[in-house]
Amino acid sequence: MAAAAPDDTMTALRGRVLLIVGGGIAAYKILELVRLLTAAHVDVRCVLTKAGTEFVTPFSLQALSGHPVHQELFSLTDEQEMGHIALSRSADLLVVAPATADLLAKMTVGLANDLASTLLLATDTPVLAAPAMNVRMWEHPATRANVATLKARGIEFIGPDEGVMACGEYGFGRLAEPPVLRDAILARLNIASPTSGSARPHTSSTMTCTRTETGSSCDIVPGGTVVRSSVETTVDGTTLWKPLLGRHALVTAGPTHEPIDPVRYLGNRSSGLQGYAIAEALAALGARVTLVSGPTNLLAPAGVTLRRVETALEMEQAVRDALPADIAVCAAAVADWRVTNAVTSKIKKSADTTPPSLHLVPNPDILAALSAPGPHRPSLVVGFAAETDDVEANAIAKRKRKGCDWIVANDVSVGTNVMGGTENTVLLITSDGVEHWPRMTKTDLALRLARRIARRFGAPALSADGDMN
């Protein structure tokens, strides 16, 4: 059967996706995803697992993608045309959808016993996984652990959505809808969604976040009276406000640990909560987010690329690697000093009980470096100021000293319970002056800051934020 070319204007090609289709009832939605992607001028090559063939046929995928579908690990024809290593490396993005519990488990342990798992092991291309499975399977500790491991390795996840599943149960497990998947893929390929950029007026929005133990998702849905003209996408009649689509946001979070010996380090009380919430909120508004995090107990937020580091020097390097970015938010509590005489063997108490001397040198100031003028300076750099005295005056001085555009200042004195707590009271200091924000949860603060950032990139204000000036 001759495959129909999805588009004869190959010059308009805007990215290459290798789509691995797993075996789940949701696989039927993948046909629509392939159609949407090819319509957006994305070259889609499909790999169909054996289980996937129970739900969609290679012929349908071939007809919609315009390319032969790859199914076998050892296929003479395919090996002649393109080896499996080349197949995975020729793509800009690997998408696993539906990412079944079985595929996630294989990815976690590094199995390579069929074409899909071999490709996933052989690739150094970014991977986006869209899980779909029964809610009990999604919530099983084995799957939770697999997802956490994969996220820590930098695999991005989209969904699963909450709702009634084919098996009749209710909960998280539904494959994200094809237009949502299409937009997530286009964002990672740095392509604006075809439904984006409309300047049509629309009623206002409220941000709703669903957070569960197994994940979270945030979206802005219609509901008020403000006219807006930013990027919007429509999914099943619901308008999602994505004003940061196409923007790259870099967020630092958590503490850094500066080793003294293999068991001891210098550190601080930062939990990372605020930075993770900001990363999640920026992603919910459509940004592609890289989160560089010191040691925390937190899972990667939905749709965010997480780079875990330990020390300030590693954080500095990871931040440099993540550039260029349009937005940088430095929420990390970077240790000010590191130990130059750290040792690789545990320091033993000496007989005379003289404590060891630590030689400290200052760590690089990541925020100041990001804020310095240069070709890679993000167009908006936001710092945090953790202060215990004269919060406002110190934060204003800190903004000048570091050269950042905005400073979010918080009082971290004993009794405020900000460090490690779930709430925060901040001042936002910009070139226009000082805004006093009321006490709110770190999640709400993140959402408000993300909307404020979206405003800076052209989105109109929301009355809910009380900052309509």
What residues line the site for ligand CTP (CB under 6 A)?
252, 312, 330, 332-334, 336, 363, 365-367, 383-386
Least distance to ligand CTP, CB of residue 461, Å: 24
Q: Please report which helix (H) or strand (E) contains residue 34, including its range.
A: helix 28-39
CB of 316 to ligand CTP, least distance (A): 8
What whole-number distance in Å separates Cα of residue 60 and Cα of residue 169? 29
Contact predicate 32/133, CB 8 Å: no
Look at the alpha carbons of 458, 459, 460, 465 in this order and tell me if their dihedral is positive or negative.
Answer: negative
Residue 31 vs 331, nearer CB to ligand CTP: 331
Query: Distance between CA atoms of 386 and 424, rounded to whole angstroms?
Result: 11
d(CA 427, CA 408): 6
Q: Of 382, 247, 402, 253, which is closest to residue 324 (Cα–Cα)?
A: 247
The two tokens of residue 162 are 């909450």
User: Which two structure tokens, joined as six digits, stand for 315?
Assistant: 């954080």
Cβ proximity to ligand CTP, 29 vs 257, nearer residue: 257
CA atoms within 13 A on the CB side of 27: 25
CA distance 314 to 200: 45
Cα 469 to Cα 222, 224, 425, 460, distances in angstroms? 22, 18, 20, 10
In 138-253, the DSSP E strands lie at 156-157, 161-164, 170-174, 205-212, 215-222, 232-235, 238-241, 248-253
110: left (phi over 0), alpha (psi -120 to 50) or beta: left
For residue 312, the minimal CB distance to ligand CTP (Å) is: 6
Q: Which is nearer to ligand CTP, 10 or 414 (CB)?
A: 414
Return the number of the residue (280 or 365) whose C-beta is nearest ligand CTP: 365
Q: Which is nearer to ligand CTP, 120 or 312 (CB)?
A: 312
Q: Are 315 and 292 in contact (CB under 8 A)?
A: yes
CB of 135 to ligand CTP, least distance (A): 38
Least distance to ligand CTP, CB of residue 258, Å: 11
Between 128 and 412, whose beta carbon lies closer to ligand CTP?
412
Residues 292/215, Cβ–Cβ less than 8 Å: no
49 vs 293, which CB is nearer to ligand CTP? Answer: 293
Q: Looking at 167, 209, 218, 404, which residue is catalytic?
A: 167
Catalytic residue at 167? yes
Give long-range contacts, CB 8 A cutoff, 24+ apart: 370-376: 370/319, 370/328, 370/330, 370/404, 371/402, 371/403, 371/404, 371/405, 372/403, 376/323, 376/324
Nearest-angstrom CA–CA distance, 218 and 124? 29
Q: How far is the CB of 442 from ligand CTP (least distance, A)?
A: 15
Report the catalytic residues.
167
